[in-house]
Amino acid sequence: MNKDKLKIGIYELTGCAGCALLILDCEMELIDIFNAADIQSFLMAKSDNIDGELDIALVEGSVTTEKEIEELKDIRERAKVVVAFGLCASVGGIQARFGNKEWKENYKKIYGDIEMTHTKSVQSQPIDAYIDVDLYLPGCPVGKEQFLHFFTRALKGAPPEKYPRPVCVTCKYNENDCLLNKGIPCLGPLTADGCGSVCPNHNLPCQGCWGPAEGANPTSEFFLLKEKGFDIEAIKKRMSNYSGTKLAEFFEQFKKESK
């Protein structure tokens, strides 16, 4: 019977484990999820895990040790499709903000000369720094609807729905008052959607936790923010919190155009 079912593995690297927990948070759908697919490996939920061939591997967390690099490469070899599941896997997470030199200095300041005993720690990186990634589902953590859409489509062999718009678009659909017009620095125009504009729905500025929006126009956005009297450096700093290693790419276009 299991022959026809999609073989799925859920793997956790370094992070808060929120994206794996998110799957268990689908309380009303959980039994159906376990019945509809053959969940081969899911350490947080089950103990009879098998490391075999997979149709889909969902990898959450960022890579922070050499052991994780090996594990990740092994997952890639076994899985037809690898999904970067969540912000850490997609961009490296909040922990990927430092460059290599800064990372080493900060490590020393916190841990001194203490090293990990069984493996070597490395600067946090998204999983595509080491392997080819087929699909990205960003979010801190991934949205429940986002995951369920992905899962049901995957069962039918369809790729996930894209969210090719910033939070700002959904925020307008939700008929919120624009916070930027009230002088509150909101990252909605620059951040990938998928959360349903949850922060502006609560009168709070977007923190950027889905990472940079694909297709956003940072150049135009920054000039607009400057015109409105916002501190661009503060906005950039804010943006870097949840953009991990992808922030540089995001600003490349901006740098070119503003010259």
Q: Which residues bind other proteins (CB under 8 A)?
A: 12-19, 21-22, 24-25, 27-28, 30-31, 34-35, 43-49, 61, 64-65, 67-68, 93-95, 97-98, 103, 106-107, 109-111, 116-119, 121-122, 124, 140-141, 144, 195, 198-199, 201-204, 207, 209, 234, 237-238, 241
Q: Which is nearer to other proteins, 219 or 241 (CB)?
A: 241
User: Closest distance between other proteins and the C-beta of residue 185, in Å?
Assistant: 9
User: Closest distance between other proteins and the C-beta of residue 211, in Å?
Assistant: 13
Q: Which is nearer to other proteins, 56 or 140 (CB)?
A: 140
User: Closest distance between other proteins and the C-beta of residue 247, in Å?
Assistant: 14
Residue 240: both structure tokens together: 């870097």
Residue 137, H or E segment: strand 135-137
User: Closest distance between other proteins and the C-beta of residue 78, in Å?
Assistant: 16
List Cβ neighbours of 148 (8 Å cut-off, separation of 6 or more): 26, 29
User: Closest distance between other proteins and the C-beta of residue 102, in Å?
Assistant: 9
User: Closest distance between other proteins and the C-beta of residue 257, in Å?
Assistant: 27
CA distance 223 to 251: 13
Q: Which is nearer to other proteins, 195 or 213 (CB)?
A: 195
Q: Which is nearer to other proteins, 84 or 142 (CB)?
A: 142
CA distance 200 to 197: 6
Q: Which is nearer to other proteins, 198 or 219 (CB)?
A: 198
Q: Which is nearer to other proteins, 116 or 158 (CB)?
A: 116
Q: Which is nearer to other proteins, 43 or 158 (CB)?
A: 43
Query: Rounded to whole angstroms, what are the CA distances from 54 to 65, 69, 76, 83?
Result: 24, 18, 9, 12
CA distance 232 to 258: 13
**Residue of 231, 242, 164 whose CA lies nearest to 206:** 242
**Residue of 127, 152, 131 whose CA lies nearest to 26:** 152
List Cβ neighbours of 251 (8 Å cut-off, separation of 6 or more): 218, 236
Three state DSSP letters for 54-115? EEEEEEECEEEEHHHHHHHHHHHHHEEEEEEECHHHHHCCHHHCCCHHHHHHHHHHHHCCCC
CA distance 199 to 73: 36
User: Closest distance between other proteins and the C-beta of residue 76, in Å?
Assistant: 18
Q: What angle do CA 235, 236, 240 make, to 5 degrees?
A: 120
